[in-house]
Amino acid sequence: MLSQELASRVSPKNRYNYHLSEIIRQRAWVEINAEALTHNVKEIKGLLSPQTALMAVVKADAYGHGAIKVAQIALQAGANSLAIATLGEGIELREAGITAPILILGAINTPEEIAAIAHWQLQPTLCNPQQALLFCETLTQLEKSLPVHLQLDTGMSRLGTPWHQAQEFFRLVQQLPYLNIASLYSHLATADEPDTTVMEQQHQRFEEAIAQLKTCLRTLPPLHLANSAATLINPKLHYDLVRVGLALYGLYPAPHLRSKARLKPVLQVKAKVTQIKTIPSGTGVSYGYQFVSDRSIKLAVVGIGYADGVPRNLSNRLEVLLRGQRVRQIGAITMDQLMLDVSAIEDLQVGEIVTLIGKEGKDEITADDWAKELGTISWEILCGFKHRLPRILMKSEAQIIKSEVFF
Ligand SMILES: Cc1ncc(COP(=O)(O)O)c(C=O)c1O
């Protein structure tokens, strides 16, 4: 596919250079808008009191945006710390030279993982007394201390000790050597829903746990409860820090939260037209002939498919932007390619760019649109853009930072 001349320039040494960015834009890619990300960090910080810190949630490769770059930009824009889900995600950030505090939101249950956490100076979540004892035992052998974050279950029924046992759990960890309590937190199950009943109950339970701790502590550890939705909804939920994921990436957790901040989508997904042909009436398109033309159609093949994160269930339902117009996708979306009906577009050329998610002129297609069509959430759509799509860092919507191509 690459010409010999271009291929010879793509050595590991110049992986990130301009020539590669040219090559990468041959098929399909993701554009990450650094200006939009910086804007979102500042917009969210604008909602917080000066005492409240912002933890940027960059798990799942920063919701498909690229964890290292997103972490670097978010920290530079004013985020105070990072959160990831797995040990591997934390190591990736440390190996990239990121020194900010990193909280692991997932559960850690083996001595090997604990040793690695200590080595990489990551900060684990402790969910129950057994786990705290295992951490203590391993860290005693290693003679290393760790900041640890205690998680309470106030109603999510996922990780954490029941909120009414907060004092017992806290006191146990407090007595264990090598464990320094860095925060106490909980996670909300329904913060993005217009009905706030469950959220208020969880908030109240968190307050009850805090009241329990106040009876035996002079100073409370830092407290946190809010995800993006709770951060947008109510400053009472902010406590000492907020853990924000989706809003950083410029999407709203729910339509009713749109008025709370002016967020800008960070990611765009683009691909190129790779072949154009005319098919006669009655021609089946793609696997299973889910689409059969009822007239002669000009068809364009585009180099992106479900292995890149375009859900196959969008087959025959997807629209894309091409020359600022909405164009219909036809037939089953395949692993690496999909087809469009481009009959309405005059003189289309191979190599023209199709926007699957993003803006062209006044029109825009968002991850929310896909999520709505599929009956899922935008978080899942974003996380679907995995490593096969190279990411190109843009200074702003239109300006490529030529030297910055990353995977
Ligand atoms: C424990 C925890 N905190 C915060 C977040 C961030 O949530 P959001 O993306 O809604 O801001 C998540 C994401 O799932 C999470 O699991």
Q: What pLDDT was estimated at residue 13?
A: 43
Q: Is 245 in the pocket of ligand 1 (CB under 6 A)?
A: yes
Given the CA of residue 57, which atom of ligand 1 is nearest to it? Answer: 6
pLDDT digits (tens, 9 = 90+) for 239-294: 999 999 999 999 999 999 999 999 999 999 999 999 999 999 999 999 999 999 99
Query: Which of 10 and 106 is assigned the larger pLDDT?
Result: 106
Using the 8-state DSSP alphabet, how is residue 241 labeled? E
Using the 8-state DSSP alphabet, how is residue 155 labeled? S
Work out the pLDDT band at 405, boundaries 50, 70, 90.
low
Cβ burial 144-167 (10 Å sphere, 16+ → b, else e): eebebbbbbbbbbeebbbbbebbb
> Mind telling me the catalytic residues?
59, 287
Look at residues 145, 228, 129 and name the one whose alpha carbon lies nearest to residue 182. 145
pLDDT digits (tens, 9 = 90+) for 237-252: 999 999 999 999 999 9
| Domain boundaries 4-29+266-406, corresponding CATH code | 2.40.37.10
Q: What pLDDT was estimated at residue 3?
A: 45
- Give the range among 20-34, 60-74, 319-333 with minimum mean pLDDT: 20-34
CATH architecture of 34-260: Alpha-Beta Barrel (3.20)
* Mean pLDDT for the stretch of residues 344-373: 96
Q: Whose CA is nearest to atom 13 of ligand 1?
A: 245
Q: Whose CA is nearest to atom 2 of ligand 1?
A: 187
Q: Is 244 in the pocket of ligand 1 (CB under 6 A)?
A: yes
Q: Decide: 289 and 330 in contact? Cβ < 8 Å.
A: no
* Mean pLDDT for the stretch of residues 121-127: 98
Residue range(s) in the chain whose domain bears CATH number 3.20.20.10 = 34-260
Q: How far is the CA of 34 from the centre of ligand 1 (A)?
A: 21
Q: How far is the CA of 27 from the centre of ligand 1 (A)?
A: 32
Ligand 1 pocket: which of 89, 103, 105 to mutate (most atoms <8 Å of CB)?
Answer: 105
- Distance (Å, whole) CA 230 – CA 156: 14
Global pTM value: 0.92
Residue range(s) in the chain whose domain bears CATH number 2.40.37.10 = 4-29+266-406
Q: For 57, list phi and psi in degrees, rounded to 5.
A: -85, 110
Query: Which of 300 and 1 is assigned the larger pLDDT?
Result: 300
Work out the pLDDT band at 146, boundaries 50, 70, 90.
very high
Q: Is 105 in the pocket of ligand 1 (CB under 6 A)?
A: yes
Q: How far is the CA of 180 from the centre of ligand 1 (A)?
A: 24
